[in-house]
Structure 1
Amino acid sequence: MSRIQANLLLTLVAVIWASAFVAQSRAMEVMGPMMFTGIRFLIGALVVLPLILRERRAPGARTLTASDGGKIAGLGLLLTLGAALQQIGIQHTTVTNAGFLTALYVPLVPLLGWLLLRHWPHWSVWPGALACLVGAFLLSGAHELKIGLGDAWVVASALPWALHVLLIGVVADRMNSPYTVAGGQFLLCGLLGLTWGLVNEPWSWEAVQAAAAPLLYTGVLSVGVAFTAQVVAQRYAHAADAAIILSSETLFTAGFGYVLMGDRLSAAGLLGCGLILGAMLLIQLLPMLRILRPRAA
Structure 2
Amino acid sequence: MLHIRGRAVNRHELALVGITVIWGGTFLVIHTAMRHCGPLFFVGVRFLAAGAISLVVFRRALRGIGLRDLGAGAAIGVAIFLGYGLQTWGLQTISSSSSAFITALYVPMVPLLQWAVFRKAPPMMALIGAALAFAGLVLLAGPGAAGISMSSGELATLVGALAIAAEIVLIGLFAGKVDLGKVTVVQLLVSGALSLAMMPVAGEALPAFSWVWLVAALGLGAASCLIQIAMNWAQREVSPTRATIIYAGEPVWGGVFGRLAGDRLPGLALAGAALIIIGTLISELKPRAKSEVDTPAAELSESTAR
Q: TM-score, normalised by structure 2?
A: 0.85
CA deviation after TM superposition for structure 1 residue 35, in Å:
0.3
| Structure 2 unaligned residues grouped into runs of 5+ | 1-7, 292-306
Q: How many residues align?
A: 281
Structure 1: how far apart are the matches of 2:232 and 2:118? 22
1:46-98 per-residue CA deviation (whole Å, 9 max, x = no partner) reads 222222114347xxxxx432122111110100111111111111111110000
* Aligned with 1:218 (options 203, 217, 220): 220
- Could you tell which deviates more after superposition, 238-247 or 83-92? 238-247
Instruction: Please tell me whether the aligned partners of residues 77 and 188 of structure 1 are also in contact (alpha carbons under 8 angstroms).
Output: yes
SS in 1 for 2:37: coil
1:246-295 per-residue CA deviation (whole Å, 9 max, x = no partner) reads 12101100001011x2001211011101101111111222x13x4249xx
Instruction: Please tell me whether the aligned partners of residues 55 and 180 of structure 1 are also in contact (alpha carbons under 8 angstroms).
Output: yes
- Verify: 1:32 aligned to 2:7, yes or no: no
Structure 1: how far apart are the matches of 2:37 and 2:248? 29
> Which amino acid in the other structure matches residue 102 of structure 2?
L
**CA separation of 1:185/1:98 partners in 2, compared to 1, >3 Å: closer, same or farther?**
same
Structure 2: how far apart are the matches of 1:183 and 1:14? 23
**CA separation of 1:236/1:167 partners in 2, compared to 1, >3 Å: closer, same or farther?**
farther
1:153-172 per-residue CA deviation (whole Å, 9 max, x = no partner) reads 10111111001112213424
* Aligned with 1:6 (options 6, 12, 36): 12
Per the alignment, residue 60 of structure 1 pairs with none
CA deviation after TM superposition for structure 1 residue 191, in Å:
0.7
Per the alignment, residue 64 of structure 1 pairs with 65
CA deviation after TM superposition for structure 1 residue 17, in Å:
1.3
Structure 1: how far apart are the matches of 2:60 and 2:234? 19
**CA separation of 1:49/1:270 partners in 2, compared to 1, >3 Å: closer, same or farther?**
same
SS in 1 for 2:94: coil
- Verify: 1:174 aligned to 2:174, yes or no: no
- Verify: 1:22 aligned to 2:25, yes or no: no
* Aligned with 2:156 (options 133, 136, 153): 153
Per the alignment, residue 276 of structure 2 pairs with 276
CA deviation after TM superposition for structure 1 residue 182, in Å:
1.6
SS in 2 for 1:55: coil
Q: TM-score, normalised by structure 1?
A: 0.87
Structure 2: how far apart are the matches of 1:3 and 1:256? 24
- C-alpha RMSD of matched pairs (Å): 2.2
SS in 1 for 2:283: helix
Q: Percent identity?
A: 31
Structure 2: how far apart are the matches of 1:235 and 1:158? 27
Structure 2: how far apart are the matches of 1:235 and 1:81? 30
Structure 2: how far apart are the matches of 1:119 and 1:6? 32
Structure with the largest fraction of helix: 1
CA deviation after TM superposition for structure 1 residue 111, in Å:
1.6
> Which amino acid in the other structure matches residue 291 of structure 1?
A
Instruction: Please tell me whether the aligned partners of residues 35 and 196 of structure 1 are also in contact (alpha carbons under 8 angstroms).
Output: no
> Which amino acid in the other structure matches residue 177 of structure 2?
R
